[in-house]
Structure 1
């Protein structure tokens, strides 16, 4: 009976209600009866009706008054009302009925065929209206699904365009970053070959050979680091980043890395302050790479001013590693963006690098259960702070 149509019958005489129930008995109709206007209003709050058959003359609330209340509610405003009346068919009586919202009149004694025909018309209209509402709901759901799919398609298309742009930029940067050291080495090879072809072996003094070897080593390190960065990005993207924790003295690790940089960047003062006994369970090669990336950036953008490295405890069980430069600083709106892949500041367009160092460093630190952040303001330099739990999960 879930598809049954509800019909409301209101009459103060039980025998009239029984007569209409017998007359309208049908498996597709659910007949609800009320002997007063108040009882009818209660039923109207509980059910959705296709039609209301109201007796006009009832003690207390008349059918006309009940119709006025039905029309006054947004819930039942459009309910078809048929008045059942024993009064004469005078125009004033009929006019009042239509004025109160009637769609038709039935006069007693009732004609069975007429009553059934009128009820059938309104029930069919109700069923069609209900079906139309259902179709509209389905149509709206389909439209919403279509819009969702369209939004997803547009989002996917935007992601694809970004990925293609990122790929093109990546290939351009890789080409540029590899071409620079390879170009330098190629020129060096040509120059040395020319000296050999002329038999000018005296040109290859010990000092000059050492300088050549140092320059070659720097170019090889540059290319090796670029390749390692690309491999790390691939491992991160495929969820294959490996961390091998072991007892590591953070102060000793910082001293090794700073010593290597001092040998390469003798013109820039590096200041190191370490607290003794900062030993944690970390992958020393990954943490060393984080410090290398931070120091490289500090020296690259620090405008030749001193760079400071601090090692200590930020809190109980939390080690702190910080690299501070005296460069131009980083605007607040860019301080999160620089940790994304291939993101670089507009002021660093001419500086070497592909914008991978901070992203890789963040992944390494997070893999240790730690956190990396930058504290900076334009014109005040930048401090990159790494917090590492001594015993990460």
Structure 2
């Protein structure tokens, strides 16, 4: 937008008419004081500023707006009825003007200058946008690199921990065998097996994340009983954690269409996390029900919970809550993989939580996804 500042209504009308005829958007002010008020509220590409005005003259207006951040990139053309002399022109440039035109104004020259300033403005704006986009891209590469390095460090630590434990238990096993201590040997073999299983789960997550990144995560969809899968998981998890009370409520009864093993993977992740992040609690609640032709499944714990900020990021790849990362092991990819699985089934995944009051992780799955029929056929 162009702002014309002149105390002569005739000059304003003639300039406005010519500029609007050439498709420029125009605003006007009849005094320096009025111009300053408008400049504070609006942004202008160009100000055509009369030098000789009662009250604030054009030079004073230009000097005043030179400090406004909003007018920092605004070009100023001075107009004056006085004959152009070196002192006047110098004063005009020193007060912030970029050009100077004497009255009576040659409209062709004015239009040429206005178009030139607009072209320069557009080029500068596009260059600035390119600089901003490039800077954002650089920051995104830096952040991606930082996350990659952090993930490699975490993965190395998480993989090293069970490996170290396995090595230690094997050394102890050798001593037990030398003493022919069968009970101790059996106990230590169980501990080795647990560490191997932990290592296997970590490797499986790493393989899944690799498949997701390369678009090769495959799904074997068919109709299966959600209730049967859930009952089996709860039974196995209860045996592994006899001290924990798992309160299960609701049922689906209908079969759902999806990859049974992948859905099982999500359920196990939810229950495992509920146990992991509620170390002082002895119960979790598992709920299943039908909602609007969808299966709604949730696992609620009574553990540490999380803030709203963390809830918005918890399903991001490699995200780990800073204040819990030292207390709880993990790669920060389990929930990201769960989200990918549920998304690929046409469902939704989420969490409700309050710090200190536990968390409820949930997902929904459509009973009859739109792609089910085509895959069966």
Q: CA deviation at 1:347?
A: 4.0
Question: Which sections of structure 1, spanning at least 5 residues, go unmatched?
Answer: 1-40, 50-70, 79-100, 105-120
| Contact 2:243-2:282 at 8 Å conserved across structures | no
Report Cα offsets for 1:255-308 as digits up to 9, x if no partner: 122222223222322232341513110111111111111111100011242112
Partner Cα distance (2:195, 2:235) in 1:
19
| Contact 1:310-1:322 at 8 Å conserved across structures | yes
Partner Cα distance (1:250, 1:384) in 2:
17
| Contact 1:278-1:319 at 8 Å conserved across structures | no
Question: 1:374 aligned to 2:351?
Answer: yes
The equivalent residue for 1:363 is: 340
TM, length-normalised to structure 2 = 0.68
The equivalent residue for 2:253 is: 277
Picking from 267, 270, 279, the partner of 1:291 is 267
The equivalent residue for 2:362 is: 385
Partner Cα distance (2:220, 2:138) in 1:
39
Whichever of the two has the greater Rg, that structure is 1
Picking from 158, 167, 171, the partner of 2:152 is 171
Report Cα offsets for 1:288-330 as digits up to 9, x if no partner: 11111111110001124211212221x2311111101111222
Q: CA deviation at 1:370?
A: 0.8
| Contact 2:303-2:359 at 8 Å conserved across structures | yes
The SS at the match of 1:266 is: coil
Question: Which sections of structure 2, spanning at least 5 residues, go unmatched?
Answer: 1-11, 21-29, 36-46, 51-79, 84-101, 371-377
Q: CA RMSD in A?
A: 3.2
Report Cα offsets for 1:214-256 as digits up to 9, x if no partner: 2222212211211221222222233333222211211111112
- Counterparts in 2 of 1:183 and 1:145: CA distance versus 1, 3 Å: same
The equivalent residue for 2:166 is: 185
Q: CA deviation at 1:185?
A: 0.4
Q: Across the two proteins, how many residue pairs are aligned to each other? A: 288
Which residues of 2 match residues 1-393 of structure 1 at below 5 A? 47=18, 125-195=106-176, 199-200=178-179, 202-203=180-181, 205=182, 207-303=183-279, 304-313=281-290, 315-349=291-325, 350-393=327-370
- Counterparts in 2 of 1:42 and 1:284: CA distance versus 1, 3 Å: same
- Counterparts in 2 of 1:335 and 1:131: CA distance versus 1, 3 Å: same
| Contact 1:44-1:76 at 8 Å conserved across structures | no
